A and B are shown apart, each in its own frame.
Chain A
Amino acid sequence: MKKLLKLFIYIFVMVALIIVFLPKVNAYYAAEKMMKDKQVYITDEKVVDNGLSLELIDAKVYFDKLELMKVENIKLSPWILYNTLELNYIDINEGFSDFLPQDINSVKVEHFFYNPLYIKLSGDSSDSFFNGEVDILNRMIRVHLNVGVKSEKKYKNLLKKLRKEPEEEGGYYYEYKF
């Protein structure tokens, strides 16, 4: 038992040291190159390596030449056993006001080592929230939306395209196979 505990401590320290010495900024540049192939660009950001995580401050996200959003803070924590990507204070391009709420407070993407084939999604805006998951094996995304009264009125045409959850659960859901 003592040996097992010792081994666990060794693994934990080793993982922490690898995370600290991981060239996170360069890994982010590699991710940027991959996103470029999909015409997604992150610009004007200040990249900060915090040791255990990587932060992008005041980033603008573009699709081709179209500005999609400004994000005050993007935090990437590659902790190998538990990886997260957090987007805080998202200001969506006004042009999307017909489709999306303008003030999304946060979006969180999580990946747990004990459930490697699933990615957990969650987020909230001023009066709505969503949670969902990406099923990597079946290549499917399912997002559950709980929409506030104000947003329900504003995006009624868009919500018509989503499916309603059973009454006891309430809200809407969106499914997409990729």
Chain B
Amino acid sequence: MLKQVQQPLQSMLLIQQANQVACYICGAGNTYDVELCRDCFAPMALAHQAASQKVMPNLVAALGSSAAGKTVYLGMLMDMLSRQPDRLQAFARGAFSINLQQAAAGALARGEFPEKTPCEPDRWNWVHCQIRSHAQKTPLELILPDMPGEALLEELDHPHTYRVVYPLLAKSLGVLIFVDASRLQSGSLDEDYFTMKLLSYLTEIQAGGRHDWSRRPVAFVLTKADECEPCFDDPATFVQFRAPGFWRQCRERFRNYRFFAAGVAGGCAYRSTRYGRVRVPLRVEPRGIVEPFEWIVKQLKS
């Protein structure tokens, strides 16, 4: 009995292998038709866009402990910048870049926080966007990945577990570091330790000259500041007294940093679900969201 099958020509497969596309993050060679890098799982769309549009986007990392509010912050930031013709405007490059803001804003509108970012690298959200500002004529191409805190912690404790982290940070020109202000306020030292580990990891990344990590802009964003109002009044002092270890390390090892306070929910309550007690926003009032990002963009351009 005959069976019809579609068999690609071997010559075609050879051509694909011959013309490899380098991953934009780790530089590993990939075939043209793959969606994610076979080595680090970063989207190959980033490399394709860079090649087709003849631009080399800058990388800005967004790092922080688990449930520090990275997804909410980045999603809200992109949604705000794409809606309002204010000082900064963001234009998504590619449909995948809208997923993050859609997930975050959609969940917040329903009165809940977005789900935690999965640990699997192939399910992370990546944003590639063009940032325009009134002050600068030339737009800035940026790539912002949303990495889960668990993955980052695993990489800090066991380097090369997540192969995307090291090349991403080595290539990033700036970083947003998220610190949960409500946890600091409650007296927990976990945030202090985590951030100390992170800063230590960053300073050990091999890079020289201008790209030395101590010179790159670092914006420390104290998230959930709506739950501790003093944080908004003076975020630097708040950190100095609530997280002295991280404060000292920051002063010793970095030259270009600034502290910011940010909050998205005006108030929070809890809802009982079959999975346990979950925190929900009572209302959405973004505050201090654009300022850290605006500062980073300004530093990158200067």
Task: Decide if A and B are genuine partners.
Answer: no
| A contact set with B: CB distance below 8 Å | none
